[in-house]
Structure 1
Amino acid sequence: MDGREVATISKERLSGSGCISYDLSHFSSGIYFLIVKTERGVTHHKFILIH
């Protein structure tokens, strides 16, 4: 995350302004949490990464 406002992830779709750009290729498969900070506050999103 680069500190800018990012989009939120909901039901496999992106909403809001901005985008999420992060290289996950060096992460191992597993369950992760994405912390999204916007003007409306902070939300947490759980996702599964599978290589």
Structure 2
Amino acid sequence: MKNIEIIILDFPLLDTRNQIMGITGKFIADLVLQILSYVAQIEGENLKQRQAEVFKL
């Protein structure tokens, strides 16, 4: 496991360097990142499916 910090300039809540809320803040940032990652993965799968449907026409 690597200790990597993530900084998203437009979304300060996800700045994992920020230790203001301690472990709770880190947990919230990790949770939000996991949700965004899941949504991006599902959207990517949906996009591939829609593209495959277009090419079948």
Higher helix share: 2
When normalised by structure 2's length, the TM-score is 0.18
Higher strand share: 1
Q: Which has the larger radius of gyration?
A: 2
Higher RCO, 1 or 2 (CA under 8 Å, sep at least 6)? 1
